[in-house]
Structure 1
Amino acid sequence: MRHHKTKGTPNKSGWFDLPGTLNGPADLGKAQEALQERYRLGSLLGRGGFGSVCSATRLSDGAPVAIKRVPRNRIRHWSELPDGTSAPLEVVLQDKVSTGFPGVVKLLEWLELPSDIVMVLERPEQSQDLLHFIRARGFLREEVARPLFRQVLEAVRHCTSCGVLHRDIKPANILVDLATGQAKLIDFGCGTYLQDTAYTHFAGTPSYSPPEWTRFGWYHGEPATIWSLGILLHEMVCGKMPFRRGWNFSWGQLSLPQRLSPGGSSSLGMGAIPVLGDGSGLGSVPLWQLLRRWHMSCSPPKPRIDGKVQAQL
């Protein structure tokens, strides 16, 4: 993974002065030269509180990539790469989990600019985020949802084995390679290091936050991840969020569509996938039993004497 640090005067006209790029200040010195020599920038893929992402093509071999720009003033945490280089925490986490594993989008290089951090990421040529993949179909049939969800579980297991907590698992942060069916976890901007003690700061999407955060103002990484995985699975097979805005999920249970199979020994079972370790409860739970058990657990967990929370599944 290459790293470029540049100095210079920001350009007032736009980002890198290239057609199809994003608006905002940037350096026109070494950064522009490096990007123009290696990439042809394309269309805007997304914009949000994190910054902006656009498509691009690597000129050396025609490979598609994504270029993510994050304003420096929005980067709160820095850490160290294995070579001792100081880098934004997102870059460090992405570097830890993306090498040699197909289920996480790979970080190819990053550039440090006076006003921005730029990350160059792999991008499957025919790809779509899972949010739009679901919306285009209304909901996912079981035979489509099962392999995709299994891959997400494997990606989560990989990240936790590397000591990384993603904290923002949702359809928009899962990229689907339409040619191969490979699912890739993206966007570690809300991520942090996995720890045994409780977190007292929430980062991620509020509608995916675990009930213990809403009720108590703290959460543990593994149970919170399981909670977001349950919401993700519901969205995949039902085509919508399980909770309406303002609905108190402390009371009652949610209903599931009758078209779902009962699970059990069905061929749709996901097999033994220890996602978050032996205590996660996801060791060998068939896929739809997993969703049904998650539905039946829709009430805030009670803290144990040691202050921890049991996993929801």
Structure 2
Amino acid sequence: MDKYSAETFNTSALRRTEESNSSTTLQGPESVKDSRSKKSRRNNNSADEAPRKRSRVSEVAEPSTSCQDQIRTVRRAKRKMTEEGEGPLPPVKKRKKGLLELVLTKESPSSLVDNSRAKFEEKYTELHQFGEGGFGYVFAGYRKEDKLPVAIKHIPNQKVVLTHKDENGRQLALEVAVMLKLRAVTTSSVGQSSMVVLLDWYDLDQELILVMERPMSAESLFDHLKDHKGPLKQKEAKIIMKQLVEAGIHLQHANIFHRDIKAENILIETNSGVPRVYLIDFGLSCYDNRRKFELFYGTIDHIPPEFDRHGTYSAGPTTVWQLGVLLFEVLHNKMFKTSSFLQNELKIGKRLSKKCKDILTKCLTINQEERPTLEELLCHPWFS
């Protein structure tokens, strides 16, 4: 069954929860809650399997003095985040709105909202729910015209925190803006086809609906690892990793920073014999991947060392770090935690090939300046 993960975006005290059925995600540091859908949790019966905890921060967190310390200092974010990840939204001037703007804002008349909902229901059929989280719910469905399988994501408007002002001055959910840009610049070439495409979106006053393509016979990489009941072979890991590096390069060229690449946010399709991956969930993504960010958005266990040490992080080195974290998890079947890795509690397995250990070591280099770029990573001998 296809599996999408509806991520949690909630504000509460930042902490590492130890409850067996909750995992926390980091979307900006002040809030932490379960990052996984109820149907995307790994069995934790074996010490060799990865634990079930992820932390994703949604507000503003200050770095600790060392990565061995847990992030203790938390301050309340007093501003909504723009597409750059920080800064207050400009004041909204009251003026007469055009018809299109009325459809796109919370001030839409009920008749226009009803009209948008009617268009959605006329075009798509919604089936069973297969994902749930703090962001909302994800349903399977299909497009009536041609029976194309789709995933339908419902997001309550109060959960839409990251926004973007388009060229016409309209405020859009940043996830929508990013996926619209990806749709415009994506082709069927290698690397670019590794993105789930946004087909339609509807702002219905109380909720935002995203309609995306739904690859058949696909499951999350997280569930794939759980079903596999052990680490992946290097041959399969290499195929998955190469596609993700190519996808990262495509995002970089499009000036988009995903910020939360992990097993839960990757779909894997295996019915063709050769694994094909799709990167999903752009809810924490942003533009301007050449700047340094001071507000952390992503999974707290995967926090790059430079943020904890210097209070900033940037797109390229962080993406390479996240890919290294992912490669570590699929080859060791263990949950990665930056603080544990820095304390040598997690070590790269000796059974791996020399080339594999080398690329993994390079991705997880502590000094971000010494990590390879995505382009350099793609040229690594392990992929040849």
Taking structure 2 as the reference length, the TM-score comes to 0.62
User: Is the aligned partner of 1:156 residue 2:265?
Assistant: no
**Residue in structure 1 matched with residue 160 of structure 2 by the alignment:** 75
User: Is the aligned partner of 1:141 residue 2:225?
Assistant: no
Superposed displacement of residue 177, structure 1: 2.0
Please give the per-residue CA displacement for 1:215-245, whole angstroms capped at 9, x wherever unaligned: 332212211111111101111111112338x
Of residues 248, 257, 277, the one that matches 1:183 is 277
Q: Is the 8 A contact 1:167 1:191 kept in 2?
A: yes
User: Is the aligned partner of 1:208 residue 2:302?
Assistant: yes
CA distance in 1, matches of 2:251, 2:174: 15
Q: Could you tell me which amino acid in structure 2 is paired with residue 196 of structure 1?
A: R
**Residue in structure 1 matched with residue 206 of structure 2 by the alignment:** 115
**Residue in structure 1 matched with residue 94 of structure 2 by the alignment:** none
User: Is the aligned partner of 1:312 residue 2:381?
Assistant: no
SS in 2 for 1:144: helix
Please give the per-residue CA displacement for 1:8-42, whole angstroms capped at 9, x wherever unaligned: 659xxxxxxxxxxxxxxxx9822432232222212
Aligned residues, how many?
260
CA distance in 1, matches of 2:234, 2:250: 24
Q: Is the 8 A contact 1:160 1:194 kept in 2?
A: no
Q: Is the 8 A contact 1:41 1:54 kept in 2?
A: yes
Q: Is the 8 A contact 1:223 1:311 kept in 2?
A: no
Q: Is the 8 A contact 1:4 1:112 kept in 2?
A: no
Unaligned runs of 5+ in 1: 11-26, 264-286, 302-308
SS in 2 for 1:168: coil
CA distance in 2, matches of 1:44, 1:170: 22
Q: Is the 8 A contact 2:259 2:298 kept in 1?
A: yes
**Residue in structure 2 matched with residue 292 of structure 1 by the alignment:** 361
CA distance in 2, matches of 1:77, 1:255: 36
Superposed displacement of residue 4, structure 1: 11
User: Is the aligned partner of 1:230 residue 2:329?
Assistant: no
Please give the per-residue CA displacement for 1:42-76, whole angstroms capped at 9, x wherever unaligned: 22222222222111111111111001111212222
Q: Is the 8 A contact 1:4 1:31 kept in 2?
A: no
Q: Is the 8 A contact 1:4 1:110 kept in 2?
A: no
CA distance in 2, matches of 1:143, 1:224: 25
Q: Is the 8 A contact 2:348 2:357 kept in 1?
A: no
Unaligned runs of 5+ in 2: 1-100, 373-384
Q: Is the 8 A contact 2:198 2:213 kept in 1?
A: yes
CA distance in 1, matches of 2:370, 2:289: 15
Q: Is the 8 A contact 1:93 1:191 kept in 2?
A: yes
**Residue in structure 2 matched with residue 93 of structure 1 by the alignment:** 178
Change (3 A) 1:117 1:156: same
Q: Is the 8 A contact 1:226 1:311 kept in 2?
A: no
Of residues 115, 125, 146, the one that matches 2:216 is 125
Superposed displacement of residue 205, structure 1: 1.3
CA distance in 1, matches of 2:293, 2:195: 24
Q: Is the 8 A contact 1:175 1:186 kept in 2?
A: yes
**Residue in structure 2 matched with residue 30 of structure 1 by the alignment:** 115
Of residues 335, 346, 351, the one that matches 1:259 is 351
CA distance in 1, matches of 2:149, 2:370: 39
User: Is the aligned partner of 1:240 residue 2:299?
Assistant: no
Q: Could you tell me which amino acid in structure 2 is paired with residue 255 of structure 1?
A: K
Q: Could you tell me which amino acid in structure 2 is paired with residue 125 of structure 1?
A: M
SS in 2 for 1:5: helix
Of residues 245, 256, 260, the one that matches 1:168 is 260
Superposed displacement of residue 102, structure 1: 0.9
Q: Is the 8 A contact 1:139 1:236 kept in 2?
A: yes
CA distance in 1, matches of 2:235, 2:102: 44
CA distance in 2, matches of 1:253, 1:312: 21
SS in 2 for 1:187: coil
SS in 2 for 1:124: coil
Please give the per-residue CA displacement for 1:168-225, whole angstroms capped at 9, x wherever unaligned: 0001111112334321111111001134331011111111111122233221221111
SS in 2 for 1:235: helix
CA distance in 1, matches of 2:167, 2:193: 21
SS in 1 for 2:236: helix
SS in 1 for 2:249: helix
CA RMSD of aligned residues (A): 2.7
Q: Is the 8 A contact 1:38 1:60 kept in 2?
A: yes
**Residue in structure 2 matched with residue 284 of structure 1 by the alignment:** none
Q: Could you tell me which amino acid in structure 1 is paired with residue 238 of structure 2?
A: R
Sequence identity, in percent? 30
Superposed displacement of residue 254, structure 1: 4.1
**Residue in structure 1 matched with residue 46 of structure 2 by the alignment:** none
Superposed displacement of residue 81, structure 1: 5.2
Report 1 or 2 for greater relative contact order, CA contacts < 8 Å, sequence distance ≥ 6: 2
